[in-house]
Structure 1
Amino acid sequence: MSFSPKIELHLHLEGAAPPDFVRRLADEKRVNLSRVFDERGAYSYKDFEGFLRTYEAATQVLRTPEDYARLTREVLERSRDQGVIYTEIFLSPDFCGGRDLSAWREYLGAIEEAASAVDGIAMRGIVTCIRHFGPDKARQTARCAAETAGAFVTGFGMGGNEAMGTARDFAWAFDCAREAGLGLTSHAGEFGRPASVRDTLDHLRVSRVGHGVRAIEDPALVERLAREGIVLEVCPGSNVALGLYAKIEAHPVERLLAAGVDITVSTDDPPFFHTTMRDEYDALERVFGWGEDHFRVINQTAARAAFCDAATREDLLKRLEP
Structure 2
Amino acid sequence: MQQQFSGERPPQPRAHVRDVRQLPKAHLHLHFTGSMRPGTLLELADKYGVHLPPALSGAEPPRLRATDERGWFRFQRLYDMARSCLREPEDIQRLVREAAEEDVRDGSRWLEIQVDPTSYAPRLGGLIPALEVILDAVAAATRDTGLPIRVLVAANRMKHPLDARTLARLAVRFKDRGIVGFGLSNDERRGFARDFDRAFAIARDGGLLAAPHGGELSGPSSVRDCLDDLHAGRVGHGVRAAEDPRLLARLADAQVTCEVCPASNVALGVYEKPADVPLRTLWDAGVPMALGADDPLLFGSRLAAQYELVREHHGFTDVELAELARQSVRGGRIDEAERKAILADIDAWLAAEPAGS
TM-score range, shorter-chain basis? Answer: over 0.9
Superposition pairs for residues 1-322 of structure 1, below 5 Å?
1-3=18-20, 4-34=23-53, 37=56, 39-40=58-59, 42-43=61-62, 45-46=64-65, 47-97=71-121, 100-150=126-176, 152-322=178-348
State the Cα deviation string for residues 98-120 of structure 1 (Å, max 9, x = none).
59443134313432233223324
Residues in 2 aligned to 1:134 and 1:292: alpha-carbon distance in whole angstroms? 45
State the Cα deviation string for residues 250-284 of structure 1 (Å, max 9, x = none).
11011110111111111111131111222221221
Residues in 1 aligned to 2:165 and 2:282: alpha-carbon distance in whole angstroms? 33
Is the 2:25–2:329 Cα contact (8 Å) retained in structure 1?
A: no
Deviation at 1:45, TM superposition (A): 4.5
With normalisation by structure 2, the TM-score equals 0.85
Is the 1:2–1:278 Cα contact (8 Å) retained in structure 2?
A: no
Structure 1 residues not aligned, in runs of 5+: none
Moved more, 283-292 or 304-313: 304-313
State the Cα deviation string for residues 173-199 of structure 1 (Å, max 9, x = none).
111111111112111000111111101
Moved more, 27-36 or 288-297: 27-36
Residues in 2 aligned to 1:312 and 1:123: alpha-carbon distance in whole angstroms? 13
Deviation at 1:64, TM superposition (A): 2.3
User: What secondary structure does 1:321 align onto?
Assistant: helix
Is the 2:279–2:314 Cα contact (8 Å) retained in structure 1?
A: no
Is the 1:209–1:232 Cα contact (8 Å) retained in structure 2?
A: yes
Moved more, 142-151 or 190-199: 142-151
1:2 maps to a residue whose letter is D
Alignment RMSD: 1.9
Moved more, 230-239 or 289-298: 289-298
Identity %: 35
State the Cα deviation string for residues 129-163 of structure 1 (Å, max 9, x = none).
11112312212221221111125111111111111
State the Cα deviation string for residues 269-320 of structure 1 (Å, max 9, x = none).
1131111222221221112221221121112112111123333323322322
Deviation at 1:38, TM superposition (A): 5.4
Deviation at 1:39, TM superposition (A): 4.2
With normalisation by structure 1, the TM-score equals 0.94
User: What secondary structure does 1:112 align onto?
Assistant: helix
User: What secondary structure does 2:212 align onto?
Assistant: strand
1:167 maps to a residue whose letter is A
Is the 2:157–2:188 Cα contact (8 Å) retained in structure 1?
A: yes
Residues in 2 aligned to 1:13 and 1:226: alpha-carbon distance in whole angstroms? 29
Cα separation, partners in 2 of 1:62 and 1:43, compared to 1, 3 Å: farther
Residues in 1 aligned to 2:63 and 2:240: alpha-carbon distance in whole angstroms? 26
Moved more, 8-17 or 118-127: 118-127
Is the 1:87–1:124 Cα contact (8 Å) retained in structure 2?
A: yes
Is the 2:193–2:226 Cα contact (8 Å) retained in structure 1?
A: yes
Residues in 2 aligned to 1:285 and 1:109: alpha-carbon distance in whole angstroms? 35
Moved more, 182-191 or 28-37: 28-37
User: What is the number of equivalent residue pairs in this alignment?
Assistant: 322
Is the 2:183–2:210 Cα contact (8 Å) retained in structure 1?
A: yes
